[in-house]
Amino acid sequence: MTDSAISIRNVSKQFGDTVVLRDINLEVPKGQVSCLIGPSGSGKSTLLRCMAFLEEANAGTILIEGEPMGFVEGPNGRRRQTAAELRVARSKIGMVFQQFNLWPHMTALGNVSASLRRVRKMPRKEAEDKAMAQLEKVDLAPRAHHYPSQLSGGQQQRVAIARALALDPVIMLFDEPTSALDPELTGEVLNVMRALAEEGMTMVVVTHEIGFAASVGHKVCFLDHGKLLFHDTPQKVFAAPRNPRLEQFLDTYLDRGAFLVQ
Amino acid sequence: MTWHLFQLLLQASLMTIFVSVLSIFAGLALAVVLSALRMSGNRWMAGGAVLFISFFRGVPLLVQLLLIFNLLPVIGITLPSLATAIIGLSLSTAAYQAENLRGGFEGVPIGLIESAEMAGFSRMQTFVYIRTPIALRMTFPALVNEAILILKASSLVSVVGMVELTKMAQNLAASTYQPLPIFASAGLIYLVINLIVAFAARRAEDALPGLPAK
């Protein structure tokens, strides 16, 4: 249990009458890449957002390195964490969104250094030096003084990754990081993510990039209609899918010729 | 119409600019606070903001100025005309700007706020560093529009004893019996000031870094 970066226990979530997550149990091991795949509306993004408490689960527990996320158990049942408690819980997590969500009024450097200056209270020079180092890591130091609107989608997403990394998270969550990108820009983002995985970062990635899941993922989780149907190594998931629904899902990728099993 | 008269008008227009600029910026700052209160989710604070906005939008500026001018001494506050004028104009423009800004605040994409939360920003920090600058940019044309309206509405502050461009023109017209060239000159000066404001605003808008994608 202690080697789990994230523990998800009996998590359920509904929006009104629509059940989005049904009794999910999942352990995300430290230092590994777990990929969440599944058809649209299967609940994979919602599950990821629950891990960051951007969505509230209706039931169940989510532990980040053993610490509760979003709710704490008290003598009178569970209660929501206060804003300050939530900030502490979230400080271990870096999040990358499908739409990048860079702040448009700040340069790339400003986006990466803002939280260092405002949250970590670093002096400007120190924050910008650290931010610059992160931008170098994603190969964007020459674009540090560009605004998001002056960057391509792939560049914006790499800035977003640098921004999340600047706060030294121990877990990185990716919510369909390449879905908003032109096909030819996805490669540069996936390469950054691959490099991060090789450094041993714990990552949870919601993705439609089956090829990435197959080659970088240590674990692949298949969700359908809010249920975690299959959770295993990519070899088991892709080479010998024993679940009919999973087979059907993967077939659509084979049909499109979008993925080749190595 | 002599050069000397025109110079007097120009001097008075400095007062117009001074009162207007101070009121525009004070009003904008107050408008940010008003929109924040209105969106606070607290019934009393939101209600107070709505009441304020309704009053200052619903009562003519001229009446507001006369009210403030006559009300303050009653409650024991005596202020110079200049301060009265600036307070009156600021309160009025704040009501309008608050409504302009509200549209901008509500238009800030939720994803930008979520990314701020994930970066550890508190609600206040998100408001100050993320939402406000983006809302100001999104509503910039409307804010400039209101600023131009205030520049022109500043002609009303003569009722509290201020001698600005319009009042100076009235005085000169009365003493020289040349109303036509004097009021024409005053109008021309207003026009030039506002053209400069509009031009500067357009340049500023071009220079402002991009707006969030819709």
Could you tell me if B93 and B27 are in contact, meaning their C-beta atoms sit under 8 angstroms apart? yes
Name the minimum distance, in Å, from the CA of A241 to any CA of chain B.
Answer: 35
> What are the structure tokens assigned to B27, written together?
């009003």
Per-residue confidence band for A261, with pLDDT thresholds at 50, 70 and 90: very low
Q: Residue B112 is nearest to which of A83, A87, A101, comparing CB atoms?
A: A101
CA distance B16 to B190: 9
> Does the pLDDT at position A222 exceed 70?
yes
pTM for the structure as a whole: 0.87
Between A238 and B65, where is the model more confident?
B65
Domain with residue B137: its CATH number is: 1.10.3720.10
Domain residue limits, chain A = 103-168
Q: How many A-B residue pairs are in contact by the CB < 8 A criterion? A: 76
Sign of the dihedral through C-alpha A124, A125, A128, A130: negative
User: Going along A16-100, which residue ranges are E strands?
Assistant: 18-29, 33-37, 59-64, 67-68, 71-74, 77-80, 93-96
pLDDT of residue B79: 87
> Does the pLDDT at position B26 exceed 80?
yes
Domain housing B50: 3-207
Per-residue confidence band for A250, with pLDDT thresholds at 50, 70 and 90: confident
CA distance A25 to A8: 5
Contact A54 B118 (CB under 8 A): yes
Between A258 and B136, where is the model more confident?
B136
Per-residue confidence band for A239, with pLDDT thresholds at 50, 70 and 90: confident
pLDDT of residue B214: 40
CA distance A251 to A248: 5
Question: What is the mean pLDDT of the segment spanning A40-64?
Answer: 95
How many domains, in total, are found in chain B? 1
pLDDT of residue A252: 78
* Average per-residue pLDDT for chain B: 93
Residue B173 lies in a domain: yes
- On whether ipTM exceeds 0.95, the answer is no
> Does the pLDDT at position B206 exceed 50?
yes
Could you tell me if A94 and A171 are in contact, meaning their C-beta atoms sit under 8 angstroms apart? yes
Could you tell me if A156 and B112 are in contact, meaning their C-beta atoms sit under 8 angstroms apart? no
Residue B141 lies in a domain: yes
- Residues of chain B that touch chain A, judged by Cβ-Cβ distance less than 8 Å: 109, 111-112, 114-123, 125, 129-130, 133-134, 137, 208-213
Residue B74 lies in a domain: yes
Per-residue confidence band for A3, with pLDDT thresholds at 50, 70 and 90: confident
Contact A90 B112 (CB under 8 A): no
Q: Who contacts A216 (Cβ-Cβ below 8 Å, separation ≥6)?
A: A33, A35, A190, A193, A194, A197
Could you tell me if A121 and A191 are in contact, meaning their C-beta atoms sit under 8 angstroms apart? no
Residue B212 lies in a domain: no
Cβ neighbour number for residue A256 with a 10 Å cutoff:
8
Residue B214 lies in a domain: no
The DSSP code for B85 is H
Q: Percentage of chain A surpassing pLDDT 90?
A: 79
pLDDT of residue A1: 46
Question: What is the mean pLDDT of the segment spanning A198-205?
Answer: 96
